[in-house]
Amino acid sequence: PFHCVHSVDNDVAVDIAAPLHYVSGSDLTSRDFQIEELEDREGCETELWLNEDGTVTIGATNGPSVKDYVGNWELIETSFRMRLTRSYGAGSSSTGANCIGEFTYDITREFWGTLEMIGTSMSISGKTHANTEFSNDNFIESEVGFFSMIDRCSKEQNFGQSMMLSV
């Protein structure tokens, strides 16, 4: 619990004397994250970037193919919150008596976690929450799984990338 991240020319330094709650949102926006989601017996990994304006950008995933998405995030001291709504497509364009056609559906998840340093990489882990409809548009919030986000670019990777760009 006594770490702080400082960005200096794309290098990351860890100051053991400072508490982790001094991490700011800008410390998160400069990183390339991979989120691992575990829900029931299913799991998937997705590239994810936290943008300066509080929105989320997702990339490649080994989970279901996403048609569209919208996400936002915030950091309150060491408490991380992210809301991600993903749209998926299903069905078939086939015609016939038993065909329902093509359709889309949305799934919203909220990720509540805490920050932690693992060497020079930042990690965010916690619980995944969903709002479940139980009757007549009444919803209950429930925990549906766990997540872990880790900064995919270590200090050495950043150094290698900057060396390639300068050649």
CB 91 within 8 A of CB 41: no
The model's pLDDT over 111-150, given as tens digits with 9 standing for 90+, comes to 999 998 887 788 999 999 998 766 666 667 889 999 999 9
In this prediction, residue 65 has a pLDDT band, given cuts at 50, 70 and 90, of very high
Whole-number Å distance between alpha carbons of 112 and 164: 37
State the pLDDT at residue 68.
96
State the pLDDT at residue 16.
38
- 86: three-class secondary structure by DSSP: strand
- Per-residue H/E/C for 115-161: EEEECCEEEEEEEEEEEEEEECCEEEEEEEEEEEEEECCCHHHHHHH
121/9: higher pLDDT = 121
